Amino acid sequence: MKKVGVIAKQHKPEAREIVDELRHWLIKKGFEPYFDEVTGDLLQEKSQIHPKFRIPSLVDMIIVLGGDGTLLGVARLMGEKEVPILGVNLGSLGFLTATTLEKMYPTLENIQRNEYVIDRRMMLTAQVYRQGERVADYNVLNDAVINKGALARIIDLDTYIDKQFVTSFKADGLIISTPTGSTAYCLSAGGPIVHPQIEAFIMTPICPHTLTNRPVVLPDTAVVEVILKSENEDVMLTLDGQVGFALRYRDVVRVTKARHQILLIQPSDRNYFEVLKTKLRWGER
């Protein structure tokens, strides 16, 4: 891996020093670093700065400096480019950005020696159809969420799986998440923890009016279609908690497994269940 993209969370106070130091280290070790425009603003010496959307097509791997939110944003940029991502945690949780700042350089040295583990993560494609025409198309790593606005009432969502009617949810919303996203909003709404290597996704209602509505784990071949049946309500489709699209009455949200995966470079000593215990205090009394 010769060409390395670097994308950092700009608002971290320590980011400027870290990015400059990383640039010098990469060049010294024979890598060619590329920076997006925001990260490039942190550099003392400006070079190889490109629009963020172009970075995946220019490099062999990407280093993400920040938290899980920064990595989720990069994941949605990838498109068909299955470029490995090394997430370095500068935040507090770091469920996806599993490498600590202290381990960044040893991990990069291992990568240079081809001693690393690739963790393939499933993504979802969420599309919106309005009167039969596709008006929005997104790829997400965590989840696609249909949720009401601050003042909206309970919303009605007719839900189909593989063209078969499932139920009409009366709820605050509906979460459709990947196994990666099962430890995010899905978990907060009472959904199960699903190991990220399982090829499936999860459908979880948010505060359903009927107590018998429970989360459902679906095969990755499933096609989920949700029709908004509530009129005159403020309803959004939210992607990875970062991008929103306003829905209208009778809009259809179609969710399927994405054609491409996200490749995460993981520390060789990383254990998923250890991460659960460390980050979520899983299993503690």
Query: Within a domain: residue 59?
Result: yes
- The answer on 156 and 108 residing in a single domain is no
Predicted local distance difference test score (pLDDT) of residue 177:
97
Query: Within a domain: residue 35?
Result: yes
Predicted local distance difference test score (pLDDT) of residue 156:
94
**For residue 44, what is the domain's CATH number?**
3.40.50.10330
Angle at 95 between CA 197 and CA 176, to 5 degrees: 60
> Distance (Å, rounded) from C-alpha 276 to C-alpha 95?
8
- The answer on 46 and 171 residing in a single domain is no
Predicted local distance difference test score (pLDDT) of residue 71:
92
C-alpha dihedral over 251, 255, 261, 265, to 10 degrees? 90
- The answer on 220 and 128 residing in a single domain is yes
Q: pTM for the full model?
A: 0.90
Cα distance from N-terminal residue to C-terminal residue, the chain: 44
- Name 36's Cβ contacts closer than 8 Å, sequence gap at least 6: 5, 6, 7, 49, 50, 51, 52, 55
Query: Within a domain: residue 213?
Result: yes
**For residue 214, what is the domain's CATH number?**
2.60.200.30
Q: Which of 24-38, 78-92, 156-170 has the lowest mean pLDDT?
A: 78-92
Query: Within a domain: residue 82?
Result: yes
How many CA atoms lie within 13 Å of 31's alpha carbon, on the beta-carbon side? Answer: 25
- The answer on 270 and 207 residing in a single domain is no
Cα distances (Å, whole numbers) of residue 281 to 91, 182, 260, 276: 17, 16, 32, 7
Two structure tokens written together for 256: 């399927």
**Catalytic residue of the set 68, 143, 172, 251:** 68
Residue range 17-41, pLDDT digits in tens? 899 999 999 999 999 999 999 888 8
- The answer on 47 and 143 residing in a single domain is no
Q: What is the mean pLDDT of residues 217-246?
A: 94
Count how many domains the chain has.
2
- The answer on 141 and 110 residing in a single domain is no
Please give the residue range of the domain that contains residue 198.
Answer: 124-257
| Cα-to-chain-centroid distance, residue 24 | 29
- The answer on 18 and 64 residing in a single domain is yes
Query: Within a domain: residue 285?
Result: no
Instruction: Note if 20 is an active site residue.
Output: no
- The answer on 236 and 199 residing in a single domain is yes
CB 111 within 8 A of CB 264: no
Closest among 176, 172, 179 to 253, alpha carbons compared: 176
